[in-house]
Amino acid sequence: MSTFKEIFDRYSWEEVKASIYAKAAGDVERALGKSKRDLDDFMALISPAAEPFLEEMAQLSHQLTQKRFGKTIQMYIPMYLSNECNNICTYCGFSLDVDIPRKTLNDEEILSEVRMLKSKGYDHILIVTGEHNKNVGIDYFEHALELIRPHFSHIAMEVQPLNQEEYERLIKAGVHTILLYQETYHKEDYKKHHPKGRKSNFDWRLESHDRIGQAGMYKMGLGILIGLEDWRVDSFFNALHLNYLEKKYWRSNYSISFPRLRPCAGGVELKSVMTDRQLVQLICAYRILNEEVELSLSTRESEKFRDHVLKLGITSMSAESKTDPGGYTLNQENLEQFEIDDARSTNEMAQVIRKQGYEPVFKNWDAVLQ
């Protein structure tokens, strides 16, 4: 099979956009009537023509999710180790050109964060850093994982793209999942938003999931940064990417996240504003396309929205998140990557989930079964 870059290069952004916006009600009805959908059906489900079908999509998404995942929501929490970064990104509070204090956690600070998160009941952790290959690179990751690994049954990471050998080292160090977002699949606009640093290399980032898959990672996470470009077109390319990865690296599991741009230091003006109804549409479209993929929603979203979509396709949620290094134990200001919206405590979020008839799951059983 070709690499994803070879497949991606066969598509025209403008032609895909035209195809999505040309979809009609009949295309949506056909997609909803099928037992198995393809990428053309996904185009219909994310098109403007599908908006009047939102209730039907939501009901179907709920049924498919409950059939595959039951009435459970996996709980996780991010732990930021560093906000040092060599990239300039127009939308990120960690960007090199943003004047904020820089901090990388030492051993004692890492263990303090670990103790705090364990006291809240978490067994599934997401490690996040800025992209600084020298100060926060593979050697730092391996050392930090030695401290973190004994305390959690599932460790995910969201860090800079690495080479295959480095991903293999992370697997040996105890990492189960890598989350890596292309941000936008619009190559020209990608360069506008990433003018400096290794992240400015579109192809290096685009090929990252192939390196992750070749390394044999247990799970891979994908997503776009909603707001940089037309969310419908970006979402199609993200689904195309997922479809390719599932076929080629079929031993791995997959998740999709839905990060909408939030306020941050040096923030960018949104090019593509997505309404709450449209985000519901996108979540349901992914579930109707793919019954197996995990769908994750973070504290970027509001309390009201997260409560509303809990039953509509989401399988994992964060709570009580801090987006700055040492955010749970160090009282520092102006270090965060972006502002969160849903600030409820872990216990409050667990109660909300139970009230809706679902069970918050803090232990990741998949990791135990590997």
265 pLDDT higher than 50: no
Q: What φ, ψ does residue 286 adopt, rounded to 5°?
A: -65, -45
Name residue 239's amino acid. Answer: A
pLDDT digits (tens, 9 = 90+) for 103-126: 999 999 999 999 999 999 999 999
CATH fold group of domain 72-231+241-272+293-368: TIM Barrel (3.20.20)
Question: How far apart, in whole angstroms, are the C-alpha atoms of residue 336 and residue 267?
Answer: 12
pLDDT digits (tens, 9 = 90+) for 29-71: 999 999 999 999 999 999 999 999 999 999 999 999 999 999 9
pLDDT of 335 = 60
Question: How far apart, in whole angstroms, are the C-alpha atoms of residue 302 and residue 154?
Answer: 26
Using alpha carbons, select from 43, 35, 41 the residue that is nearest to residue 16. Answer: 43
Alpha helices, DSSP H only, in 70-137?
107-119
Give the whole-number percent of the chain exceeding pLDDT 90: 83
Question: How far apart, in whole angstroms, are the C-alpha atoms of residue 18 and residue 255?
Answer: 27
pLDDT digits (tens, 9 = 90+) for 226-249: 989 999 999 999 999 999 999 999
Q: Which residues contact 79 (CB under 8 A, 6 or more apart)?
A: 113, 114, 117, 125, 126, 127, 128, 148, 328
Q: Is the dihedral of CA 42, 278, 274, 25 positive or negative?
A: positive
Question: How far apart, in whole angstroms, are the C-alpha atoms of residue 355 and residue 368?
Answer: 28
16 pLDDT higher than 80: yes
Question: How far apart, in whole angstroms, are the C-alpha atoms of residue 77 and residue 83?
Answer: 17
Name residue 264's amino acid. Answer: C
pLDDT of 136 = 95
Using alpha carbons, select from 181, 222, 203, 161 the residue that is nearest to residue 91. Answer: 181
Using alpha carbons, select from 258, 265, 257, 266 the residue that is nearest to residue 323. Answer: 265
Q: How confident is the model at residue 99 (pLDDT cuts 50, 70, 90)?
A: confident
Q: Is the dihedral of CA 340, 51, 8, 271 positive or negative?
A: negative
Question: How far apart, in whole angstroms, are the C-alpha atoms of residue 154 and residue 175?
Answer: 7
* Local structure of 153: helix, strand or coil: coil
Section 290-300 average pLDDT = 96
Higher pLDDT, 301 or 332: 301
* Local structure of 50: helix, strand or coil: helix
Q: How confident is the model at residue 270 (pLDDT cuts 50, 70, 90)?
A: low
Angle, helix 138-148 to helix 164-173, in steps of 10 degrees = 10
pLDDT of 338 = 65
What kind and span of H or E run contains 8? helix 4-8
Using alpha carbons, select from 96, 78, 63 the residue that is nearest to residue 259. Answer: 78
pLDDT of 367 = 41
User: Bridge partners of 226?
Assistant: 260
pLDDT of 273 = 80
> Which residue ranges make up each domain of the chain?
72-231+241-272+293-368
Single pTM value for the model: 0.94
